[in-house]
Chain A
Amino acid sequence: MVSMTDNTKLIQGRTGPWEIVMGLEIHAQVASKAKLFSGAAVGFGAGPNEQVSLVDAGFPGMLPTLNKYCVEQAVRTGLGLNAQINRRSQFDRKNYFYPDLPTGYQISQLYFPIVGEGVVEVEAEDGSFFNVGIERLHLEQDAGKLIHDLSPTESYVDLNRAGTALMEIVSRPDIRSPEEAVAYVKKIRTILIYLGTCDGDMEKGNLRADVNVSVCREGQYAKYKATGDFSHLGTRCEIKNVNSFRFISQAINYEARRQIEILEDGGKIDQETRLYDPTAGETRSMRSKEEAMDYRYFPDPDLLPLELEQAWIDDIKASLPELPDAKRRRLMADYGLSQYDAVVLISEQAKADYFEAAAKGRDAKLVSNWVTNEVSARLAADGKDFSENPLPAAHVAQLVELIETNVISSKIAKQVFDLVWSGEGSPAEVVEKHGLKQVTDTGAIEKAIDEIIAANPDKAAGVAEKPQSLGWFVGQVMKATGGKANPAAVNDILKAKLGL
C-alpha cells in the first residue's frame, strides 16, 4: 500500500506540490453479433450505412428490443469486476442533438444501472498493488461516425456504429498518476478479454477511455478519502475518447500541468469537456458539447424495466473462466514463479495457457523464461499474439528438457530455438540433425584442453599469476568444440590441469 502523500505522486509547481486525482470512464464495446436494440450487424469494414436498421436510423415508430446476449455480457463483466449485479435496472434517454445521433437521444442507464459497486486490483509498475473502486457499469448505445475529410464544406455520416452496445465502466476517483491510469485500463482490458465480453481492440475504438482529471494541494486527497466529501478535491475536466495507452498518459500529463498553471496564476478551473489532440500534444475545450450539457434524462418509455432472475446470474457466474488475479496467484503457488513472472504470463490468457502446457514436469522458471523472452519476442516481431503462436508448447517443453538433462547448453539452446522456430523440426530432431549435443565426455574435453595448453605454454605458465586469463582458455576450448562442450566440465578440467 502506497501512502497518500507518497512523493512519487506529487507534481511540483512554482508555489508548492500538487496531487493529481483521476476517475476513468471506460467504454467497452460488447462483442456481440447484433446491436443493443436492433438486429443490424456489428462489425468493422462494411460499406457506409450497410449495418443500419430503421431502429438505428431513428425512423418514426420503430421500437427498440433489447439484445439478451448484451445483457449477459454486462452481467458477466460485472461479476468479473467483483461488482454487485442489480436484478432490476432501467433504461433512460440522454437527450442531445448531434449529427451522429439520429434519434436525438442516446439510450443509456443513468438512474438504475445493471451493475453497481465493485473493486479491481491493479499491479503498479513497481510490483505493488492498488485498488480502484468501480462505481457502476451500465449498458448504452454507441453513436455513429462523422467523416470530415470527404468534403471541405460538409460532414459525411455513417451510422454503422450507431446503436452498437457499449459497457461504460465508471471508476471512483482512486487513480493518482498517469502510470496508474494506464495500469488500470490495461487491467480492465485484460479482464474483459479473459471474460470474452469485449475484444479490447483499441485501434478499432472498441475500447476507449474518458479521463476525468483534477488537481489539488498535497494532503487534500487524504481528506476526501477520510470524509467522502468531494469538496476537498479540485474541479475536474473530462478528456474525451482517448484510445491508446500512450495518449492516456500524455493527455493526463498535459492536462494536470495546464490546471496547475491556471491555479498558480490565481485562476480557476472551469468544469468542461476537453479533447486530446495527439499531434499538438495538448487538450482543448470542446465548446460544442458544452452547450448540450443539460441532457434532460428521463426513463425511456419504449423499454420496460430489465428484471434478471437470480438463477440466470448464478449460471453466468458458474461459467466464468479463471480470472487474471486468481491465475496469477495460482501460477505463483503451483509453479513457484515470482510475482513478476506470473504477471507477465497472465497479461495474455493464451500466454498463460501456453506456459502451463509447456511447464508440466519441467523446470517452471526456465519454461517461463523461454515463453516470456524468446517466444514472446518472436511473436512480437511477427506482429502476432499467443493465440496465433505457430510453435507447439511441446517444443518448448522438449527444449527445456534438453537443457535440464544437460544434452545441450543454454547457449546452444538459443541456436536450437532459432532452427526450431524456422521450422526445422522438434528440438530433439534439430539437435540430432545438426550435431549440437553438448560434449560431456570428459575424455574429449581433456584432449582439447591438452592441445590448447601444449600450443600456448607461455599463457599456461602465466595463469597462476593472472587467474582472469582462465576465461581465455575457456573460450579456446569452446571454440575447439564448436560451443558444444559442457561449460562446467571445461572449467573444472581446466582448473585441475592448470593447477588453480
Chain B
Amino acid sequence: MAIDAATVRRVAHLARIKTPEDRLEPLAAELNGILAWIEQLNEVDVTGVEPMTSNVAQPMRLRDDVVTDGNKVADVLGNAPRSADGFFVVPKVVE
C-alpha cells in the first residue's frame, strides 16, 4: 500500500495536525517505510489462527449500574482554555 502526498494531507486534516505542504512528500516516504516494515508480518502463515483482540486472555470486567462519580465541575473544567458558568466555552460552531 503506497501513501501519496494527497493521502498524508487528508489524514493530517482528519487528525487536525497542521502539516506544511513541504512536509507532505517526506512524511509520505516515512509512512511508506513504516508500512513496508510492518508488511513483513504478511510472511507469517496465520491460517487457522484466530485474530488476537487483546494480549490479555480474560473476559471483560463489567461495572454495576451505580453512580460513583461526577460533581467535580472544577476538575472537569480545570484544563479548559476558556470556561464560564460551569460550561466549556469554544469558538462558535453552528449548523
What is the CB-to-nearest-CB distance from A35 to chain B, in angstroms, rounded to a whole number? 9
On whether the beta carbons of A299 and B53 are closer than 8 Å, the reply is yes
Of A39, A55, A99, A151, the contact of B67 (CB 8 Å cutoff): A39
Residues of A within 8 A of B82 (CB): 154
On whether the beta carbons of A54 and B93 are closer than 8 Å, the reply is no
A49-B76, A156-B88 known; A288-B64 Cβ under 8 A: no
A40-B70, A68-B63, A70-B65 known; A292-B14 Cβ under 8 A: yes
A286 at interface (Cβ–Cβ under 8 A)? Answer: yes
On whether the beta carbons of A305 and B88 are closer than 8 Å, the reply is no
Residues of A within 8 A of B67 (CB): 33-34, 39-41
On whether the beta carbons of A67 and B53 are closer than 8 Å, the reply is no
Residues of B within 8 A of A59 (CB): 79
A322 at interface (Cβ–Cβ under 8 A)? Answer: no
Interface size counted on chain B using CB atoms at 8 A: 39
Which segment, of B25-33, B34-42, B54-62, faces chain A?
A: B54-62
A155 at interface (Cβ–Cβ under 8 A)? Answer: yes
A438 at interface (Cβ–Cβ under 8 A)? Answer: no
On whether the beta carbons of A275 and B70 are closer than 8 Å, the reply is no
The interface bits of chain A over 21-40 (1 if a CB of B lies within 8 angstroms of the residue's CB, else 0) are: 00000000000111000111
Instruction: Work out how many contacts link A and B, with CB atoms closer than 8 A.
Output: 140
Residues of A within 8 A of B53 (CB): 90, 299, 304-305
Q: Kindly identify, within residues 53 to 87 of chain A, every residue whose CB is under 8 Å from any CB belonging to chain B.
A: 53-55, 57, 59, 65-71
On whether the beta carbons of A48 and B63 are closer than 8 Å, the reply is no
Q: Kindly identify, within residues 324 to 356 of chain A, every residue whose CB is under 8 Å from any CB belonging to chain B.
A: none
On whether the beta carbons of A65 and B70 are closer than 8 Å, the reply is no
**What's the Cα separation between A40 and B61 when bound, in Å?**
18
B71 at interface (Cβ–Cβ under 8 A)? Answer: yes
B72 at interface (Cβ–Cβ under 8 A)? Answer: yes
**What's the Cα separation between A200 and B51 when bound, in Å?**
39
Residues of B within 8 A of A146 (CB): 93
Q: Kindly identify, within residues 37 to 95 of chain B, every residue whose CB is under 8 Å from any CB belonging to chain A.
A: 53-54, 56, 58-73, 75-77, 79, 82, 84-95
Residues of B within 8 A of A57 (CB): 76
User: Binding site of B, secondary structure by majority: helix, strand, loop or mixed?
Assistant: loop
The interface bits of chain A over 98-118 (1 if a CB of B lies within 8 angstroms of the residue's CB, else 0) are: 110000000000000000000
What is the CB-to-nearest-CB distance from B8 to chain A, in angstroms, rounded to a whole number? 14
A66-B63, A151-B89, A158-B87 known; A49-B56 Cβ under 8 A: no
User: Binding site of A, secondary structure by majority: helix, strand, loop or mixed?
Assistant: loop
A148 at interface (Cβ–Cβ under 8 A)? Answer: yes
On whether the beta carbons of B65 and A68 are closer than 8 Å, the reply is yes
**What's the Cα separation between A410 and B1 when bound, in Å?**
81
On whether the beta carbons of B92 and A34 are closer than 8 Å, the reply is no
Of B16, B54, B64, B72, the contact of A52 (CB 8 Å cutoff): B72
Residues of B within 8 A of A65 (CB): 61-63
On whether the beta carbons of B93 and A155 are closer than 8 Å, the reply is yes
Of B58, B79, B86, the contact of A47 (CB 8 Å cutoff): B86
Residues of A within 8 A of B73 (CB): 47-50, 52
**What's the Cα separation between A57 and B80 when bound, in Å?**
11
Residues of B within 8 A of A304 (CB): 53-54, 56, 58-60
On whether the beta carbons of A53 and B54 are closer than 8 Å, the reply is no
The interface bits of chain A over 277-321 (1 if a CB of B lies within 8 angstroms of the residue's CB, else 0) are: 000000000101000101010010101111100000000000000
What is the CB-to-nearest-CB distance from A298 to chain B, in angstroms, rounded to a whole number? 11
* 4 new A-B contacts at CB < 8 Å, known A38-B69, A66-B62, A69-B64: A52-B70, A65-B62, A153-B91, A156-B87
Where the two chains meet, the residues of B that have a C-beta atom closer than 8 Å to any C-beta of A are 10, 14, 16, 53-54, 56, 58-73, 75-77, 79, 82, 84-95
